[in-house]
Amino acid sequence: MKRRTAILSIWMLVAAGGILHAEDGSRLWLRTDTTAQAQVIANQQSATVAVAKKELQTQWQGAPVQLKIARTAATRALGDDGYTLAGSPQTSVTITAATEKGLLYGAYHLLRLQDTQSLPAVLDMAESPKYARRILNHWDNLDRSIERGYAGRSLWEWEKLPGEISPRYAEYARANASIGINGSVLNNVNANPLILTNEYLIKVKTIADIFRPYGVKVYLSIHFAAPKTLGGLPDADPLNKEVIQWWKDKVKEIYALIPDFGGFLVKANSEGQSGPQDYGRTHADGANLLADALKPYHGILMWRAFVYNPTKEDRAKQAYQEFVPLDGQFRDNVMIQIKNGPIDFQPREPFSPLFGALQHTQEMIEFQITQEYLGFSNHLVYLAPLFKETLDSDTYADGQGSTVAKITDGTLRPAQVTAIAGVANTGDSVNWCGHPFAQANWYAFGRLAWNHELTPEQIADEWLRMTFTSDENFIRPVKEMMLASREACVDYMMPIGLHHLFSFHVHYGPEPWGYFPDGRPDWMPVYYHRADSIGVGFDRTEAGSNAVSQYFSPLHEQFNDIKTCDERLLLWFHHVPWTYTLQSGNTLWDELCYRYDRGVQEVRDFQKTWDRLEPYVDAERFAVVQSKLRVQARDAVWWKDACLLYFQTFSKLPIPYDIERPVHQLDDLKK
């Protein structure tokens, strides 16, 4: 029997496209054979053009390619990063752009069409990105730890720079360029001021020099109090002339080392970080100080709207309350960087009401690619549906159709510069992201930053074909699994608008009972779910915290009315009785039970799907994903039991008998 099984396995491997070689995931989606010897000529030469030529020469398997820089009206209209593809893959192909970066992005797109088997018989297309700055934010510390990092230590080996250079720096830049990402903030928003010392700036310069041929600029997070902590000044008051001069001198020093430096990212007056409010000044005062220093060098200042300080108000309202009164007071090279939701990268949130509310200030969106609140690198959660849900949300700020994407990409409000950011999920693990499928979230962010009109299905299809195989027997079921995974996560963690029920300290497992007398109320899960004998949910209606008033009409009215509120967000905006009947016909309590159970069953279905696909995947990556899915299935049961058993102490209602019984005791889970 064992011999027959072995023969069958070999036959299945051959049928799937040949013997599968072991892979560790280090090549990401860039797995094309590099033995091609394509003919490539270019009308100009540079380090970036050399990268484009090499990529095509070693991977392109079609007709000769010409790389052509031409500053015509047509190419200028596509911007610095745009390009055209013309010709036939069988006879000749021309990539035309106004800049060398455009040629590089055109080369990668041509290879993507080849690798996904999407090449048309005749090429006639023009592409340009939706956002000018497409940036990864690394929350990496100088000791190489990563805040909210789940894939090993930081890629940046600060202790070895500038003398010893890891080959992964160029590999990282190449991966980003292949999906259109053109910026990298190297260090944590909770910034160590030492990053601005000359010792570290020389290290940063080394990284910038490696990134430059790939069109990737470096940015830095800065500590607002640096003039005091580094410069020895008595304060960091943004209106102090000595402070103003200190920043001008520091920026001049940076640009002398790195002429194409991108700018600064700032977290100020949030979670204990220093900022202008320490001196009675405003966010605008602080941002403009830095923006003015960067302006002569065309740098931008990204000022985070994540203001998270003790307040008696609903935390969801805080960013709006602090920034809307300052609208119009920021310089034109200031970007207000706004998290996708008003709380903190939850599995599902409504979009932040700040989008569109700043009528005269440039806004950029910040997503979290690293899965701080979505099971770390243990859970398969494909985030393109989450990203798209936010980008496609209609703010109604400038009338119907004022989506978050159109508000931030310059479509509705012409801007000096447009930008989008994602908190990176990379580390020094062999496969970069900890979980093989977490690579898809890095890929999806880049593709949506380039073109937010792509669908999650299109992006998943591309990524699967480039990362695994183009065999439809593999593509179809795995794509379905990916597209269902975010909703499954919402189901087994926090359905119907529940949010922030995580373990307080690590943001991983469930802790809906969490309350610490010596902690801030808005650190505690009980602050957000507000369960009692009547019902559950945070009342943000006009009768409650009135957070609904921060949304434009008709969203204000829709969210305010329990009958018209999107049920996916019901408990975000309403405190709902346990016996309230939902659209499904179930009471709220029963629906919660069914949703949690559905999430568990969906993850188990993912396991079955993956196990059936063993013949199509190399053994190493198959085993890693299989092991991770086991953890995810166990965690889903943990979440289901913890939340239902805890909330049952308030509802006093039975768990419906047609769903799986809890396997834990509440007292044990609390331990």
Six-digit token string for 11 = 């036959």
- DSSP annotation of 581: B
Q: Which long-range contacts (CB under 8 A, 24 or more apart) does 397-403 make?
A: 397/355, 397/356, 397/357, 397/359, 397/552, 398/356, 402/356
Within a 13 Å sphere around the CA of 229, how many CA atoms are in the beta-carbon half? Answer: 13
Nearest to 265 by CA among 423, 157, 386: 423
Instruction: Report helix angle 472-493 to 588-612, nearest 10.
Output: 150
Question: Tokens 């309202």 appear where?
Answer: 317
Work out whether the CA dihedral 521, 524, 527, 530 comes out positive or negative.
negative
What burial letters (b/e) apply to 453-469, b meaning 16+ CB within 10 Å?
Answer: ebebeebbbbbbbbbbb
Phi, psi of 204 (to 5 degrees): -60, -40
Cβ atoms 545, 317 nearer than 8 A = yes
Cβ neighbours of residue 105 under 8 Å, at least 6 residues apart? 81, 82, 83, 97, 127, 177, 180, 215
Nearest to 179 by CA among 220, 137, 219, 214: 214
Among the options 199, 242, 271, 557, which is catalytic? 271
Phi, psi of 443 (to 5 degrees): -60, -45
Beta strand spans in 253-333 (E): 263-266, 300-304
* 271 is an active site residue: yes
Q: How far is CA 367 from CA 154, 393, 442, 443, 504, in A?
A: 20, 14, 11, 13, 21
Which class for 256: exposed (0-12), middle (13-18), buried (19 or more C-beta within 10 A)?
Answer: exposed
Tell me which amino acid residue 535 is.
G
* 164 is an active site residue: no
Residues 56 and 46: their CA atoms lie apart, in Å, by 15
Please report which residue ranges of 78-212 form alpha helices under DSSP H: 100-115, 168-178, 198-211
Residues 594 and 598: their CA atoms lie apart, in Å, by 6
Among the options 372, 462, 487, 491, which is catalytic? 372
Other CB atoms closer than 10 Å to residue 199's CB: what's the count? Answer: 12
Other CB atoms closer than 10 Å to residue 292's CB: what's the count? Answer: 18
Question: Tokens 């102090």 appear where?
Answer: 240
Strand partners, 334: 301
Please report which residue ranges of 134-282 form alpha helices under DSSP H: 168-178, 198-211, 226-229, 241-257
Cβ atoms 477, 462 nearer than 8 A = no
Six-digit token string for 48 = 């970036």
Among the options 344, 511, 635, 641, which is catalytic? 344
**Pairing state of beta strands 535-536 and 419-423?**
unpaired
Other CB atoms closer than 10 Å to residue 310's CB: what's the count? Answer: 9
**Pairing state of beta strands 123-127 and 83-88?**
antiparallel
Please report which residue ranges of 494-585 form alpha helices under DSSP H: 525-529, 555-560, 570-573
Cβ neighbours of residue 554 under 8 Å, at least 6 residues apart? 396
Strand partners, 336: 303, 363
* 344 is an active site residue: yes
Helix (H) or strand (E) holding 476: helix 472-493
**Catalytic residue positions?**
271, 344, 372
